[in-house]
């Protein structure tokens, strides 16, 4: 027996976990519809594309499921070969994982020891602080610019000799803002070559501004650059959990070494392979989303002129709190929910709204017009 009191639950796990935010999933539309007595609710909270699985994917997954009593291919050779061909890179530069969020964690694990620093912009992807803290790295958060984007000069200035990794989320979740070529060139030239720059490009497929570089094309040949991509958004596989990265072969091999064994499941590998064959359909769907994104942005700006330009499949409503008047972001999200539309509030900061079908977007805009 030690002096610990096992009836105190946080004696069994790390005390610092209590101070960490939980990753917040979007609320279930079925639950909300039941609560409101509506036939259905609209979920615009998790940045999924609204058009269902890509053609052929459900069939491929069902076929692969017949082999589920066997372990999957640990090295995901067929999928990595297909990704290598699709993105025109060598397969030894690719690692797959249980969503790109898992790969982001693995990258911190292969670079950072306790006390090492991970730099990112804030507000950005909510997984970064959780990943840094649970990997025992130190988070260095650099506040966003007044335009809700990364402050690259300040991020470069935040680099110390303990910095091991920098997340660059482009376009940025949840604000939708993007970094352009000239500022990124300056930033990349300022980063020491022993610091890993991880471009989290979960929304790359929705980018239409030619001045927002594809990091794989523009910086992919630098040994200290990693490109994180996901099949959860444009490719419609959020529920299968599969993402990938492209990196220098040594970095990709390090990630493949630490990845939880077999975490790219049989069905995820098969689904991803089938989805990759649907690139044309993905482009068509992304064009629909982009047209709606631009329409929704224009309509919202009539109500809230500060809505920033989005290059992703969501828009950001900056709704910071007014002291003494409650939290505008939370209140706005609550008003949307009361009318059957689920959006994602960030208390004190703003609300992220995913682009849905034209009818879903109209329903959201009707609520926004009545609330704002
Ligand atoms: C959605 C998202 C991801 C991808 O998550 P998966 O784990 O692949 O589903 C990664 N980065 C950002 C910024 C995201 O918004």
Q: Tell me the whole-structure pTM to 2 decimals.
A: 0.95
Q: How far is CA 159 from CA 116, 129, 152, 165, 198, in A?
A: 11, 17, 11, 9, 14
pLDDT at 3: 54
Strands 163-169, 117-122: parallel, antiparallel or unpaired by DSSP?
Answer: parallel
Query: What is the distance in A from the centroid of ligand 1 to the CA of 99?
Result: 7
Q: Is 238 in the pocket of ligand 1 (CB under 6 A)?
A: yes
Q: Is 236 in the pocket of ligand 1 (CB under 6 A)?
A: no
pLDDT at 25: 77
- Report the distance separating Cα 341 and Cα 43, nearest Å: 6
- 136: Cα within 13 Å, side-chain hemisphere: 8
- Rounded to a whole number of angstroms, the distance between the first and last alpha carbons of the chain is 60
- Tell me the domains of the chain and their CATH numbers: 24-52+280-371 (3.90.1150.10), 57-277 (3.40.640.10)
Pocket test for ligand 1, best of 125, 130, 167 (most atoms within 8 A of CB): 125
Query: What is the distance in A from the centroid of ligand 1 to the CA of 101?
Result: 6
Closest ligand 1 atom to residue 231 Cα is 8
Inter-residue contact 84 to 91 (CB < 8 Å)? yes
H-type alpha helices, the chain: 29-36, 57-65, 77-87, 100-111, 127-134, 152-157, 181-190, 215-218, 249-258, 266-276, 279-303, 328-338, 358-371
- Report the distance separating Cα 260 and Cα 249, nearest Å: 19
Taking the chain (372 residues) in consecutive chunks of 10 residues, what is each chunk's mean pLDDT?
56 82 82 94 96 98 98 97 98 98 97 96 96 92 97 98 98 98 98 98 98 98 98 98 98 96 97 98 98 98 97 96 78 95 95 98 97 90
- Report the distance separating Cα 268 and Cα 98, nearest Å: 9
- 245: Cα within 13 Å, side-chain hemisphere: 32
Structure tokens at 24: 């917040």
Bridge partners for 346 per DSSP: 350
- Number of helices followed by number of strands (H, E) in the chain: 13, 12
pLDDT at 1: 47
pLDDT at 256: 96
Q: Which residue has the tokens 């709190």?
A: 321
Query: What is the distance in A from the centroid of ligand 1 to the CA of 242?
Result: 10
The three-state secondary structure class of 91 is helix
pLDDT at 228: 98
């Amino acid at each position: 027996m030690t002096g610990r009191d096992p009836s105190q639950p946080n004696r069994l796990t790390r005390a610092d976990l209590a101070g960490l935010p939980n990753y917040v999933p979007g609320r279930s539309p079925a639950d909300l519809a039941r609560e409101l007595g509506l036939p259905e609710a609209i979920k615009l909270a998790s940045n999924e594309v609204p058009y269902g699985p890509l053609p052929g994917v459900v069939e491929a997954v069902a076929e692969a499921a017949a082999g589920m009593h066997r372990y999957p291919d640990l090295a995901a050779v067929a999928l990595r070969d297909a990704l290598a061909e699709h993105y025109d890179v060598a397969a030894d530069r690719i690692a797959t994982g249980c969503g790109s969020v898992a790969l982001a964690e693995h990258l911190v694990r292969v670079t950072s020891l306790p006390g090492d620093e991970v730099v990112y912009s804030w507000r950005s992807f909510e997984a970064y602080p959780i990943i840094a803290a649970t990997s025992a790295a130190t988070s260095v958060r650099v506040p966003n610019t007044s335009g809700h984007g990364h402050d690259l000069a300040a991020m470069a200035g935040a680099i110390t000799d303990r910095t091991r990794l920098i997340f660059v989320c482009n376009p940025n979740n949840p604000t939708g803002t993007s970094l352009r070529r000239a500022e990124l060139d300056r930033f990349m030239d300022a980063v020491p070559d022993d610091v890993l720059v991880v471009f989290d490009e979960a929304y790359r497929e929705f980018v239409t501004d030619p001045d927002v570089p594809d990091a794989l094309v523009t910086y992919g040949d630098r040994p200290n650059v990693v490109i994180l991509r996901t099949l959860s958004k444009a490719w419609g596989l959020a529920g299968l959990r599969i993402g990938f990265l492209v990196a220098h072969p040594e970095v990709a091999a390090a990630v493949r070494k630490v990845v939880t064994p077999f975490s790219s499941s049989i069905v995820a590998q098969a689904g991803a392979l089938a989805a990759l064959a649907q690139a044309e359909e993905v482009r068509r769907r992304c064009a629909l989303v982009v047209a709606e994104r631009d329409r929704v942005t224009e309509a919202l700006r009539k109500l809230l002129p500060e809505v920033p330009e989005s290059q992703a499949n969501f828009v950001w409503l900056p709704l910071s709190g007014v002291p003494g008047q409650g939290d505008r972001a939370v209140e706005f999200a609550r008003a949307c929910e009361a009318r059957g539309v689920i959006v994602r509030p960030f208390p004190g900061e703003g609300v992220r709204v995913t682009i849905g079908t034209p009818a879903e977007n109209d329903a959201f805009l009707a609520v926004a017009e009545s609330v704002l």
